[in-house]
Amino acid sequence: MKLFKQITSAMLSITIVAGAAATSLSTKPCAAAASTKVMYNTVLSEWQSRVNAEMSKFPNYSYWNHKGKSSYTEATYTYTPCDHIHEKAKNQTYCNTTYVSGYKSGQCYGFAYLIAKDIWGTTEFYNNSIDQNYEPKVGDNVRLEFTVQTKQGTAKQPHSIFITGISGDKITFAECNGELEDCRIRWNRTTYYDRIIAEDVWVPNASGTMVNKALFKGDQSSVTTVTKSFLRNHGISYNRPVIAGDLNKNGQLDSGDAMIFSDTVMKNGRTSNSDHTPLSYYDVNGDGHVDTSDYNEIRYGRNNLRIVMPNERPTCRWRSLRHSSGFLYYDGSYYVKNDIGGVSWIGSVDSEIVDLYVSSRVYCQSDGRWYDVTEIGHEAYQGHGWRTCTADYKIKTLHIPDSIKRIHSFAIENWTITSLAFSGSNPQLETVDEFAFYNCKSLKTLDLSPAKKLKTIGNSAFDGCTALYHVDLPYTGSPINLGSGNGSIFGSTDPSSATIDIKNPNNSTTPESNYQKIVISGKDYNYWLNNDLYYYGKLFKMYYGDTYLGQVDRYNDYLRP
């Protein structure tokens, strides 16, 4: 497979740092593409108008609460402040909340998240830690944290802000409950406290008993301009909208993202194992499928920054194959060691590839050995009842190397295959097992004539191949058994006047070995008698078991009952 040949063994295995809201979607049911595509750069170009809309929705100096309201939503605001320390002591709260990753959150964090959700149009955010390399961007939802001395000891007081503007080193932001006790909304704020202090106060609880509480507030003497350095010193984390394909979370599509992409879904259909990155984060173009076009978008469409929308459930072109002891080769296919000293091809992780070449020799890293690929498919893993070859492939043409000796049962099941091709000049194929091409409804013709060592095609090898009307067989000099007993190579499927064509290159009736011997099974014998199955060619003799049925000599013709 050409795509995988571009992926060298030198690629590093990259782990993606966990995001707070990230959940694994790769094993959940599929859904269509994102109904609305929101581009990151589009939001930036409309930034001020989007901020203005939020300012109209939540007026400056109003309060994000529902005090005095009989009904309310997350968009409710009033002009009556909360009184946190007294109200909480009485088990009362009027603070508004919004859902963050399935949980209710209010006050500063909930409001900053709500603004981010409105402006970016999504609930998919990366959560990253802040260090001295943090470079703030407009739209960041920043979590601050201050160390506070209380009567009980040292405490941590957090606060969240939403960055609405950056000018040089200076930050402009929106917030709720910046004074920590009233849920007031403030826009265009540029200063905050460098220190938070705690006062020891006594307030009545719900039964009127006085209880001791710590009242947190900003130290007025520490008011300072909020800068990038301020955020690096006091910030602990920030949320940013997920850009599809930005797998290393640096805000752009680059080679690092391409490497993660190729090292995860392109190998086994799975996203990063360390943080269960949702599959939607890989659907760069938002068409509902994770495939090569997304990989190319990362490599060549680096300005196409699409924001991931909630509830996207894309399908993945690649998938992990179930197997007992298989290994992945660099060609993007899985192989498993077989009982004849080689390995069996058991499927490609790319379930949508249409033209696939099976390698003739592969390297197993676990034992440091090269193996000949001698079989297509493999027996079911004992005791588990599932087969090792993946069904439902979209492969049109499967190219098999000369080294293949056997095509196992159900190796090519429910495929859209239209042809089997031999990629060499000396095929070693001997056996096509029962149900090998099971339910391949697009298969119309099958040319096995290059396989001059073919010995057996098993019963039901073409069961469900409703369109198959022509099969070419080789001259081998030895009998070819087509089914056995009372069976049929077509299984329960009526061959509908299909033709078995014996491609014998010989022209002379002597010696006797110039004739190709064909042995058919009971059900196919009846099909032949009823003109539902035809045998055509030259210099072949046909038998039902040991019973001689007739022959065709030097000139191509049908063998008639």
DSSP characters over 37-65 = -EEHHHHHHTHHHHHHHHHHHS-TT-BSB
Can you tell me the distance from the alpha carbon of 32 to that of 288, in angstroms, rounded to the nearest whole number?
5
Q: How many angstroms separate the CA atoms of 444 and 200, rounded? A: 86
pTM over 0.75: no
pLDDT of residue 301: 82
Q: Which residues contact 559 (CB under 8 A, 6 or more apart)?
A: 535, 536, 540, 542, 549, 550, 551, 552
Tokens of 94: 């009027």
Instruction: State the burial class of residue 379 (Cβ atoms within 10 Å of its Cβ: 0-12, 13-18, 19+).
Output: middle
Provide the residue-wise pLDDT of the chain in tens; the chain has 561 residues: 233 322 222 222 222 222 222 222 233 333 445 567 999 999 999 999 999 999 999 999 999 999 999 999 999 999 999 999 999 889 999 999 999 988 899 999 999 999 999 999 999 999 999 999 999 999 999 999 999 998 888 999 999 999 999 999 999 999 999 999 999 999 999 999 999 999 989 999 989 999 988 899 999 999 999 999 999 999 999 999 999 999 999 999 999 999 999 889 888 788 876 668 899 999 999 999 999 899 999 999 888 899 999 999 998 888 777 666 688 888 888 898 888 899 999 888 888 899 999 999 999 988 999 999 999 998 754 444 556 677 788 999 999 999 999 999 989 999 999 999 999 999 999 999 999 999 999 999 999 999 999 999 999 999 999 999 999 999 999 999 999 999 999 999 999 899 999 999 999 999 999 999 999 999 999 999 999 999 999 999 999 999 999 999 999 999 999
Residue 217, pLDDT score? 94
Name the residue among 71, 122, 80, 128 with its Cα closest to residue 101.
122
Query: Tokens at residue 147, please?
Result: 């160390």
Beta bridge partners of 192: 224
* Residue 391 burial class via C-beta count within 10 angstroms: exposed 0-12, middle 13-18, buried 19 and up: middle
For residues 412 and 398, is the Cβ–Cβ distance under 8 A?
Answer: yes
- pLDDT given for residue 328 in this prediction: 86
- Largest interatomic CA distance in the chain: 117
Ordered domains of the chain (ranges, CATH): 38-240 (no CATH), 242-311 (1.10.1330), 327-558 (no CATH)
What are the φ and ψ backbone dihedral angles of 147, each rounded to 5 degrees? -85, 125
- The pLDDT score that the predictor gives to residue 486 is 96
Tell how strand 369-376 and strand 343-348 pair up: parallel
Q: What DSSP assignment string belongs to 249-280?
A: -SSS--HHHHHHHHHTHHHHS---TTTT--GG
Residues 6+ apart with CB under 8 A from 167: none
Instruction: Write the CA distances from 454 to 106, 311, 422, 475, 515, integer angstroms.
Output: 73, 52, 13, 9, 15
